[in-house]
């Protein structure tokens, strides 16, 4: 790595110091302006040079609160290694033994930390981290269902906060309701939490210490209840449920005191013990807090603390017949575990006064010793799915899906079986960010993260989903020719694979347009616009192999559908060669050789619901289920290397239960990402699940096949109805603009204008046949930046503007450049980290990722673009920022860090 900043060097020495850390997480913080460059980087020590992957939570209101509470900035770096890698945890550096955190705000001096928390003290910080967890968070699900994507947000953030602040995160089953809870759920929850954090921890589990259970605190919670009775802060009420409701009042009317509210301490104690000793019937009495029946907050109108339930509990059996309410047990459990920050969803905001009341009333009793702080953030909602355990249980129990782990389910087990990598889910959660604003995120935002992750990690393979036989009439007998081709176009370390080629190959049915058959007839005897693949009498290139020409179409005698194409291959076109005098063949398609191909099944999934908000208009979310959410393709053909991989993978799974079937995944070229399904048993029985298509096709016209997808990065003028708005409410101007990463491939003078250059730019667009497609961009850069400095450069392009003719040449994108207002001559293009793939949409810090406009061409859109353009600047650190109406800067972020200028600072971007 060049330009190693001090923090990186520090990290390097940290690595050297602490044996071989499997993974270290760095949080880089520019201490000049404190919250300037926060980026979580995963550093893998691969023989010395650390390399960076990943993304991180942008600073948010919660990290700010915690920073204020603890005096620790989430700066420096945080080692997320556990005792197995950093050995003497308890005696780290300053020799402190691990002291029980009391949960009260600790000042930096208490923690022996620097006030600034700057990078210089990184080593000390880490030392302290290892001896005192200054921040303790927890993830507390109720084991009454499987975890879903909403929980992924809570899990990711709780663990991330713990890491950012040198703390730990507890895992707690909030098991206070025996009626709905089950051991099956407990096991699935633990598995899911480990899975979503996989790669981020060593050892058995990501959480600190054992799995905690609220039920194991039942004794203390009971004592707390008695203590409140003794203090006169709780009473036994004997109103019926209905009467209680009546007495509670409404949002606009105060409640009334129960006639039992004035019972003496002694009477309350006696009754409460009777309740506990099975001497009362369910519903006969409850224990209530004595607060204020006239409080404007209904949660403070003497909330229930305990109710009678003659049910056995999965953990405590028949020991108890009274169970504490969530609102009462939660603050006590938090305090007992030394949780410093109890992060939960917004519906608990109104319960916070009672949370605090409970803590304040109990601290003097000595039964609890800490004062945890509850902070709420908004729930995650995702369009076209449902995130509620109740609804998910209904889908499973009534057979709308095939179990909790059905790959269409938004459960974590469903996502895992489908093949969604946990890193993609974490990236998604980080991009969604943390705020108090309600949001409803487009499903495509999740899919984008999946693509980004899987593009890097998945091997490529040829797979023909709907095969059409091609016979090469001039091929020599049964001979096979082997092509050795890369497993990944960019990752050499993934090695090569062998694909055989021979007389009989299969291509996708959709890669042949049957002009002279029913298909052509249905299209008015016309070839579809822009079609470049195979036609009768024409040629196409079989990727890595030869150009073939279709000489004859053999048809089904009844349906007239093509069943075989008789073709000739051109020997002198091997491996991409175009012989002199021959015109370059534009269409390139994938194929599989017949005799060696492996037959398998492919499950293609689509959205589970047809509408963005299931049930909103129909009144019943079940009515909005998508009947076409699963398409099963039998007799799919894949190249033979896949069979070997599958056999090896199944063996690996036998030896290591933490390996999932879906961790073997591929990009089937031109089709999408696919992972092995758990029903696969061996090379003769392979099933794949489609994780995601290569590009967003949701909302595309139904007749568009898998291979005719919308180009990424370029609206095709056809707005994608389901992905225009991601957040409910108006989309902010800046989210409508497509800022994409691009590379300048060529540049030259404009024939008509001295000030203009004409560039060929790769903005990540892909043509119909899967080959990259460049755009022409006319830019006013002549004389400002030398041409040789432009070629090969990563830049930021705005790719959804209406094409504009500039002195006769149509320009289809705009390059972003910073320019010095004072000296107009100084212009710099924006820099993007090299590792970022072309086409990646930049994220505007603090904004929910959303699909930009297809093309900004309406009057309103043009105005919005002008407003955005006027608010783009390079800040005092040379980072590209967009400044909102309140004057707050939001950085333009790529997946590998911010976008910057070379040397210009505090200037406009145009
Ligand atoms: P559901 O509403 O689906 O029944 P829940 O909130 O009852 O879920 P819990 O098991 O109580 O589920 O949740 C455990 C933790 O996960 C809680 O802290 C809760 O706030 C958080 N959580 C649940 N759903 C979401 C969501 N959609 N977005 C963010 N966090 C969530
Ligand atoms: Mg709940």
pLDDT at 439 over 80: yes
Q: How remote is the CA of residue 135 from the centroid of ligand 2, in Å?
A: 23
Ligand 1 site, residue 172, Cβ cutoff 6 A: no
Q: 561, 596, 631: which is the final residue of a domain?
A: 596
Higher confidence at residue 118 or residue 587?
587
Q: 596, 611, 639: which is the final residue of a domain?
A: 596
Residue 874 located in a structural domain: yes
Q: Which residues contact 314 (CB under 8 A, 6 or more apart)?
A: 175, 178, 181, 182, 183, 186
Residue 816 located in a structural domain: yes
Tokens (6 digits) for 182: 């089950």
Residue 452 CA from chain centroid, whole number: 10
Same domain, 591 and 727: no
pLDDT at 76 over 70: no
Q: How remote is the CA of residue 142 from the centroid of ligand 1, in Å?
A: 9
Smallest Cα–Cα separation from 665: which of 868, 413, 680? 680
pLDDT at 551 over 60: yes
Higher confidence at residue 542 or residue 30?
542
- Which of the ligands is closest to the CA of residue 381? 1
Q: Which residues contact 828 (CB under 8 A, 6 or more apart)?
A: 785, 817, 818, 819, 901, 902, 903, 904
pLDDT at 589 over 70: yes
Residue 755 located in a structural domain: yes
The answer to whether residue 379 is catalytic is: yes
Q: How remote is the CA of residue 141 from the centroid of ligand 2, in Å?
A: 7
Residue with tokens 């070229």: 669
Are the CB atoms for 66 and 75 separated by under 8 Å? no
Q: How far apart are CA 225 and CA 230, in angstroms?
A: 9
Are the CB atoms for 478 and 885 separated by under 8 Å? no
Q: How remote is the CA of residue 164 from the centroid of ligand 2, in Å?
A: 26
Residue 623: φ, ψ to 5°: -70, -20
DSSP 900: B
Rama region for 117: left / alpha / beta (φ>0; ψ in -120 to 50; rest): left
Tokens (6 digits) for 222: 């009971």
DSSP 662: G
Smallest Cα–Cα separation from 315: which of 143, 452, 469? 143
Average confidence (pLDDT) over 235-242? 97
Q: Which of 116, 142, 267, 773 is catalytic?
A: 142
- Which of the ligands is closest to the CA of residue 151? 1
- Domain range for 541: 461-596
Q: How remote is the CA of residue 126 from the centroid of ligand 1, in Å?
A: 32
Q: 544, 574, 596: which is the final residue of a domain?
A: 596
- CATH number of the domain residue 526 falls in: 2.40.240.10
Pick the residue whose CA is nearest to atom 13 on ligand 1.
141
Residue 323 CA from chain centroid, whole number: 37
Ligand 1 site, residue 154, Cβ cutoff 6 A: yes
Are the CB atoms for 182 and 393 separated by under 8 Å? no
pLDDT tens for residues 700-759? 433 333 333 333 332 323 333 233 233 333 467 888 899 999 999 999 999 888 889 999
Question: What is the number of the ligand 1 atom nearest to the C-alpha of 380?
Answer: 28
**Neighbouring-strand partners of residue 795:** 742
**Neighbouring-strand partners of residue 689:** 603, 675
Average confidence (pLDDT) over 442-451? 93
The answer to whether residue 142 is catalytic is: yes
- CATH number of the domain residue 724 falls in: 2.40.50.140
Q: How remote is the CA of residue 142 from the centroid of ligand 2, in Å?
A: 6
Residue 603 located in a structural domain: no
Residue 672 located in a structural domain: no
Pick the residue whose CA is nearest to atom 22 on ligand 1.
151
The answer to whether residue 695 is catalytic is: no
pLDDT tens for residues 834-844? 888 888 889 88
Q: Between the ranges 103-107, 230-234, 881-885, where is the mean pLDDT highest?
A: 230-234
Q: Total structural domains in the chain?
A: 2
Residue 413 located in a structural domain: no
Best residue among 345, 386, 412 to mutate for probing ligand 1's pocket (most ligand atoms within 8 Å of CB) is 345
Average confidence (pLDDT) over 144-161? 96
Question: What is the number of the ligand 1 atom nearest to the C-alpha of 379?
Answer: 28
pLDDT tens for residues 16-44? 333 222 222 222 222 222 222 223 333 33
Pick the residue whose CA is nearest to atom 23 on ligand 1.
151
Pick the residue whose CA is nearest to atom 4 on ligand 1.
389
DSSP per position, 235-301: EEE---HHHHHHHH--SSS-----TTTT--HHHHHHHHHHHHTT-S-TTT-EEEE-S-TT-SSGGGS
pLDDT at 211 over 70: yes
Residue 116 located in a structural domain: no
Question: What is the number of the ligand 1 atom nearest to the C-alpha of 388?
Answer: 3
- Which of the ligands is closest to the CA of residue 214? 1
Smallest Cα–Cα separation from 693: which of 772, 611, 631, 616? 631
Same domain, 590 and 726: no
Residue 813 located in a structural domain: yes
């Amino acid at each position: 790595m060049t330009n190693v900043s001090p923090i990186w060097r520090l990290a390097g020495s940290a690595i050297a110091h602490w044996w071989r850390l499997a993974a270290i997480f760095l949080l880089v913080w520019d201490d000049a302006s404190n919250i300037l460059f926060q980026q979580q980087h995963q550093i893998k020590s691969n023989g010395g040079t650390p390399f960076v992957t990943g993304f991180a939570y942008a600073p948010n209101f919660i990290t700010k609160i915690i920073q204020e509470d603890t005096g620790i900035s989430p700066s420096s770096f945080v080692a997320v290694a556990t005792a197995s890698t950093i050995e003497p945890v308890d005696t780290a550096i300053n020799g402190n033994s691990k002291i029980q955190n009391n949960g009260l705000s600790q000042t930096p001096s208490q923690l022996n930390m620097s006030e600034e928390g700057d990078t210089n003290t990184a080593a000390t910080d880490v030392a302290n981290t290892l001896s005192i967890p200054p921040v303790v968070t927890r993830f507390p699900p109720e084991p009454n269902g499987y975890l879903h994507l909403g929980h992924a947000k809570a899990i990711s953030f709780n663990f991330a906060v713990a890491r950012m602040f040198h703390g730990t995160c507890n895992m707690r089953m909030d098991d206070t309701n025996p009626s709905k809870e089950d051991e099956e759920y407990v096991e699935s929850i633990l598995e899911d939490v480990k899975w979503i954090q996989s790669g981020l921890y060593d050892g058995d589990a990501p959480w600190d210490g054992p799995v905690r259970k609220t039920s194991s605190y039942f004794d203390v919670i009971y004592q707390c209840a008695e203590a409140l009775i003794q203090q006169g802060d709780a009473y036994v009420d004997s109103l019926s449920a209905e009467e209680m409701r009546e007495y509670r009042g409404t949002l606009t009317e105060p409640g009334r005191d129960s006639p039992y509210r004035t019972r003496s301490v002694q009477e309350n104690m006696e009754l409460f013990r009777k309740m506990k000793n099975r001497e009362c019937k369910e519903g006969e009495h409850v224990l209530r807090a004595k607060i204020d029946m006239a409080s404007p907050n209904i949660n403070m109108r003497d909330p229930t603390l305990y109710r009678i339930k003659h049910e056995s509990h999965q953990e405590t059996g028949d020991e108890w017949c009274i169970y504490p309410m969530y609102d009462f047990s939660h603050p006590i459990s938090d305090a007992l575990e030394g949780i410093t920050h109890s992060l939960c969803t917004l519906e608990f905001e109104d319960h916070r006064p009672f949370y605090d009341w409970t803590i304040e009333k109990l601290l003097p009793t000595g039964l609890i010793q800490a004062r945890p702080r509850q902070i709420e953030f908004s729930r995650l909602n995702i369009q076209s799915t449902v995130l509620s355990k109740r609804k998910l249980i209904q889908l499973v129990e009534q057979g709308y899906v095939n179990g909790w782990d059905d790959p269409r389910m938004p459960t974590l087990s469903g996502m895992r079986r489908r093949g969604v990598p946990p890193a993609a889910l974490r990236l998604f959660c980080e991009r969604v960010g943390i705020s108090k604003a309600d949001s409803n995120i487009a499903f495509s935002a999740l899919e984008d993260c999946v693509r980004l992750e899987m593009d890097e990690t998945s091997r490529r393979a040829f797979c023909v989903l709907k095969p059409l036989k091609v016979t090469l009439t001039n091929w020599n007998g049964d001979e096979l020719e082997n092509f050795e081709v890369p497993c990944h176009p960019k990752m050499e370390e993934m090695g090569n694979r062998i694909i055989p080629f021979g007389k009989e190959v299969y291509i996708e049915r959709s890669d042949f347009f049957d002009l002279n058959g029913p298909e052509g007839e249905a299209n008015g005897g016309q070839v579809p616009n822009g079609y470049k693949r195979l036609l009768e009498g024409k040629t196409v290139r079989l990727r890595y192999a030869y150009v073939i020409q279709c000489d004859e179409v053999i048809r089904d005698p009844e349906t007239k559908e093509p069943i075989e194409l008789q073709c000739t291959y051109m020997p002198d076109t091997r491996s991409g060669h175009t012989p002199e005098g021959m015109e370059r063949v534009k269409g390139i398609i994938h194929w599989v050789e017949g005799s060696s191909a492996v037959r398998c099944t492919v499950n293609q999934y689509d959205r589970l619901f047809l509408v963005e908000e299931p049930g909103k208009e129909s009144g019943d979310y079940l009515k909005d289920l998508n009947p076409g959410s699963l398409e099963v393709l039998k007799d799919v053909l894949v190249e033979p290397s896949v069979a070997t991989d599958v056999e090896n993978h199944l063996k690996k799974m036998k030896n290591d239960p933490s390996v999932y079937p879906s961790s073997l995944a591929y990009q089937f070229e031109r089709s999408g990402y696919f992972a092995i399904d758990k029903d696969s048993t061996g090379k003769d029985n392979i099933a794949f699940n489609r994780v995601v298509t290569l590009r967003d096709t949701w909302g595309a016209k139904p007749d568009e096949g898998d291979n005719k997808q919308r180009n990424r990065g370029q609206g095709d003028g056809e707005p994608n109805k389901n992905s225009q708005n991601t957040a409910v409410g108006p989309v902010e101007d800046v989210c409508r603009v497509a800022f994409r990463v691009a590379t300048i491939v060529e540049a030259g003078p404009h024939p008509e204008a001295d000030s203009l250059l004409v560039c060929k730019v790769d903005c990540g667009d892909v043509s119909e046949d899967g080959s990259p497609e460049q755009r022409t961009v006319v830019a006013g850069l002549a004389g400002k930046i030398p041409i040789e400095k432009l070629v090969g450069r990563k830049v930021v392009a705005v790719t959804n503007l209406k094409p504009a003719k500039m002195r006769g040449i149509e320009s289809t994108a705009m390059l972003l450049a910073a320019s010095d207002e004072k000296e107009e001559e100084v212009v710099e293009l924006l820099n993007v980290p090299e590792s970022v793939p072309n086409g990646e949409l930049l994220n505007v810090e603090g904004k929910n990722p959303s699909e930009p406009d297809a093309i900004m061409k309406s009057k309103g859109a043009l105005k919005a673009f002008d407003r955005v353009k006027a608010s783009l600047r390079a800040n005092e650190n040379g980072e590209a920022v967009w400044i909102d109406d309140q004057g707050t800067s939001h950085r333009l972020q790529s997946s590998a860090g911010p976008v910057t200028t070379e040397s210009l600072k505090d200037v406009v971007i145009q």
